[in-house]
Amino acid sequence: MSYELPFHIQGEIMMRLPVKSLIQFRSVSKAWKSLIDSSEFVAAQSVLDTQPHHLFVWYKDPRGEIKYVSFLDDDSFPQQRFVPTLPLSVKLPRIVGSSHGLLCLDGYHWDPETSEINFKKRLAVVCNPSIRKSIAFVVPDILYARQEIVLAFGVCPVTIDPKIIQITQLPSWMDKKTEISNLWKVEVYSFRSGKWKSLSTNLPSNSIRIRQPQVVIDKFIYWCSSCIDSGLRTHNLIMSFDMTDESFKVVDLPECLASHPFARLSISKLGESLVMLQYNINTEEQVWCDVWIMVNGAQVSFTKLYTIKGQRGSIKAVGFRKSGGPIMEVDDYLSEPTQLVVYEPNSGHCDDPIRGYSFNVNSYMETLLMFGRSDCSSY
């Protein structure tokens, strides 16, 4: 039957099939294998929103050990789960972010012969959990003590080239005691080039400080940031990094968010939109979270979607399901440990899939990116 369809129609159909099926279909014929292995097919398949979505959850279990698990984000949630495979040489991994079906974590090198963790050798791990492929390599050394390091990750949607960005923010007193003119040091690793390079232009102002987590939307990586103006007053903003031209830009926030305590602001992703999470505490120490969505137009604006109210204790939004339901870390002060709660706004139904601490949730879609690469570690 396949020979009755034009080959380009066969390709359009296969592009919408599950990743596991595509890997199997490579054995059907040389033509199909050549098509599925081509960079054009892999790139096109990675941007279609037709593949299953997953939720990657990083957390600490009740004993304080780092754990991670992936859930299928569909009607079967939270029953279908699996544990992604990471290189054995990476210890204490922490999630950096996700983009185009790839996950990035950072950790430290572990020598199995000595059973020791080398805290001076930081590793970045990029993996595709859908096809169980991962790559680990060393990130550049830090130069000064007390510097702030932010690692970021995204896949450029134009070139489908994964990039890792290491941002070093030096302490504000460095420019007074040294000849350093810019307190930002930015290094970018491109999979296509296979090497790190330093950026010397389009760097943010020395007065801006960014913090994790990150959000990737289209060609931009976003962070929550703060800035000290000439009057020594602090205000909040969003910093973005354009993966196409590797430049930084500032996104202003409305006054109610710009002047809010920085520690009570966070950034997240709802579908393909950026959202700001604004936490408030009343006199009874009840916590609620206002969810603001960024609207792109002639001028960027923010609209409040809804408010998430905690009955008692503390709440923290750590992600959103594809359906739009917020994923909350809840500490009611009565149960130990805290719990991950997924709330469906329409039905009011709550799922409680995991108990632990320090939850971090990233969504990803199944893709073929990195399929042609071998698992490797470079350090």
- Give me 13's structure tokens: 């159909």
pLDDT tier for residue 279 given thresholds of 50, 70 and 90: very high
Q: For 38-57, how does the pLDDT look when each residue is reduced to its tens digit (9 = 90+)?
A: 888 888 888 888 888 999 99
pLDDT digits (tens, 9 = 90+) for 303-350: 999 888 766 567 888 999 888 888 888 876 666 678 888 766 555 556
Tell me what pLDDT residue 336 has.
67
| Mean of pLDDT over the chain | 84
* Residue 261 pLDDT > 90: yes
Question: Quick one: average pLDDT of 50-71?
Answer: 89
* Band (379; pLDDT cuts 50, 70, 90): very low
Please report which confidence band the pLDDT of residue 225 belongs to, taking 50, 70 and 90 as the band edges.
Answer: very high
* Range of 84-98, 138-152, 165-179, 183-197 with top mean pLDDT: 183-197
pLDDT at 285: 65
Residue 309 pairs in a beta bridge with: 288
Residue bearing the bigger pLDDT, 184 or 57? 57
**Does 78 or 24 have the greater pLDDT score?**
24
**Contact call for residues 182 and 167 (beta carbons, < 8 A):** no
Mean pLDDT (whole number) for 209-233: 88
pLDDT at 103 over 90: yes
State how far the Cα of 367 lies from the Cα of 160, in Å rounded to an integer. 12
Which of 146-160, 162-176, 207-221 is least confident? 162-176
Kindly state the average pLDDT of the residues 342-370.
78
Q: How confident is the model at residue 1 (pLDDT cuts 50, 70, 90)?
A: very low
* In the predicted structure, residue 144 carries a pLDDT above the cut 80: no
Q: Dihedral through CA 153, CA 300, CA 274, CA 192, nearest 10?
A: -20
How many H-runs (helices) and E-runs (strands) does the chain carry? 6, 24
The percent of residues above 70 in pLDDT, for the chain, comes to 85
Average pLDDT, stretch 246-252?
A: 94
Three-class HEC string of 272-296: CEEEEEEEEECCCCCEEEEEEEEEC
- What pTM was estimated for this model as a whole? 0.88
Paired strand residues for 330:
315, 339
Q: What is the pLDDT of residue 104?
A: 94
Q: Residue 7: is its pLDDT beyond 90?
A: no
- Greater pLDDT, 2 or 184: 184
- Of the listed ranges 14-23, 73-82, 242-251, 280-289, the least confidently predicted one is 280-289
Residue 378: its pLDDT value, please? 46
61 HSE (CA, 13 A, CB side): 6
Task: Name every residue whose Cβ is closer than 8 Å to that of residue 300 and which is 6 or more positions away in sequence.
Answer: 251, 252, 294
**pLDDT at residue 368 in the model:** 92
The pLDDT confidence band at residue 179, using thresholds 50, 70 and 90, is very low
Residue 195 reports pLDDT greater than 70: yes
**Beta-carbon-side half-sphere exposure of residue 278 (alpha carbons within 13 Å):** 21
Q: What is the pLDDT of residue 172?
A: 58
Tell me the pLDDT band of 355, cut-offs 50, 70 and 90: confident
Percent of the chain past pLDDT 90, that is, above it, reads 34
Asked whether residue 213 carries a pLDDT value surpassing 80, the answer given is yes
